[in-house]
């Protein structure tokens, strides 16, 4: 049971608050930030949303007032150094906020982590609030606001919450979807949230570059373990050929997982010099976060990831072999 009173006391005692989320932010992290931002501004708090990565284009609708900023030392440190509190959403691991972590450490800012990813007991946060049963961090934000907000939820707050819950449940399709998710959606609808427009912005605005890249991915999918495992890789040459960027790979692993017979999809993305980002997605038959943890990453049972040093030629056999071994062990 989460002690929201302790969370509320920590927020109430703070005047200047930075809100942030993980690199390459998704709908859950961004939606949670936006919901709390609008609440705190009503409460008279001096707060800003500052992330370590650019805002993805599909979430620009959350930024109508230009409230979502990308961190730079020159632009932000004069403000950040006087912060009482950093609220960190959906981060999975503290180092995933990159340079913002350095600023938080440098200025000795208290940290409040709100997340539905598991964290070790020796976590670095001042207060670590985790509910691994929550479908999204946005659900936790909703719970906090329903308990401690004096006024009814506003449309802007609900837009953030709905975006968080919708995206982390795969538009209410994934196995983490429960009755509460739908109850939250109903309340958001009653507040005037245009849910169909949010769906269109998130899922139906893929740039042509992303589709060109996806075509190359589909041509190179490899099936293993009787077709239950499907994996693919992406490197800079493929990006260049499609005139694409790293932003264009979002959703690819989910798409490959949707193939009939596939239970687990894996993406190996060589996104830097001798660095690979690995995404694991499972339909639910197999737990895959153990593989991510093995490679220094983490995540949920059926959606996880890791970042591994090395080029894709050296990483692919290691990741595929470990994933196949995990599936075989679970199938015994």
| Per-residue pLDDT reduced to its tens digit, 163-222 | 999 999 999 998 899 999 999 999 999 999 999 999 999 999 999 999 999 999 999 999
Q: What is the DSSP letter of 195?
A: H
Q: Which CATH number fits domain 4-203: 3.20.20.70, 3.90.1640.10, 3.65.10.10, 3.90.199.10?
A: 3.90.1640.10
The pLDDT, as a whole number, for residue 271 is: 80
pTM of the model: 0.92
pLDDT at 58: 94
pLDDT at 242 over 80: yes
- Residue at token pair 């479908």: 135
- List every span in the chain annotated with CATH 3.90.1640.10: 4-203
227: left (phi over 0), alpha (psi -120 to 50) or beta: left
pLDDT band (50, 70, 90) for residue 49: very high
* Topology classification of domain 208-331: Diaminopimelate Epimerase; Chain A, domain 1 (3.10.310)
All CATH 3.10.310.30 domain ranges of the chain, comma separated, are: 208-331
Residue 197 confidence (pLDDT): 97
* Cα separation values, 211 from 80, 247, 257, 268, 309, Å: 39, 12, 17, 18, 28
């Amino acid at each position: 049971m989460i002690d929201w009173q302790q969370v509320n006391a920590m927020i109430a005692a703070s005047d200047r608050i930075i809100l942030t989320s993980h690199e390459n932010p998704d709908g859950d992290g961004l939606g949670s930030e936006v919901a709390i931002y609008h609440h705190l501004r009503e409460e008279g708090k001096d707060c800003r949303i500052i992330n370590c990565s650019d805002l993805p284009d599909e979430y620009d609708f959350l930024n109508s007032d230009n409230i979502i900023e990308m961190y730079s030392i020159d632009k932000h440190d004069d403000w950040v150094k006087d912060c009482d509190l950093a609220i960190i959403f959906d981060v999975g691991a503290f180092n995933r906020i990159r340079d913002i972590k350095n600023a938080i450490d440098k200025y000795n800012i208290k940290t409040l982590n709100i997340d539905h990813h598991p964290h070790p007991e020796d976590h670095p946060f001042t207060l670590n609030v985790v509910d691994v049963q929550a479908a999204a961090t946005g659900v936790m934000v909703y719970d906090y606001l329903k308990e401690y907000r004096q006024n009814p939820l506003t449309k802007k707050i609900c837009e953030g919450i709905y975006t968080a819950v919708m995206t982390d449940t795969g538009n209410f399709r994934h196995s983490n979807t429960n009755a509460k998710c739908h109850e939250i959606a109903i309340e958001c609808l009653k507040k005037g949230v245009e849910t169909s427009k949010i769906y269109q912005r998130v899922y139906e605005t893929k740039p042509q570059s992303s589709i060109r890249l996806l075509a190359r991915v589909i041509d190179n999918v490899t099936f293993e373990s009787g077709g239950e495992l499907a994996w693919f890789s992406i490197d800079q040459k493929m990006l260049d050929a499609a005139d694409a960027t790293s932003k264009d790979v979002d959703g690819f692993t989910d798409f490959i997982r949707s193939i009939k017979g596939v239970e687990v999809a894996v993406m190996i993305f060589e996104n830097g010099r001798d660095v690979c980002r690995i995404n694991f997605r499972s339909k639910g038959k197999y737990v895959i976060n153990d593989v991510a943890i093995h490679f220094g990453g983490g995540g949920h049972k059926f959606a996880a990831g890791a970042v591994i040093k090395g080029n894709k030629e050296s990483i692919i056999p290691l990741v595929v072999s470990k994933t196949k071994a995990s599936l075989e062990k679970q199938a015994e």
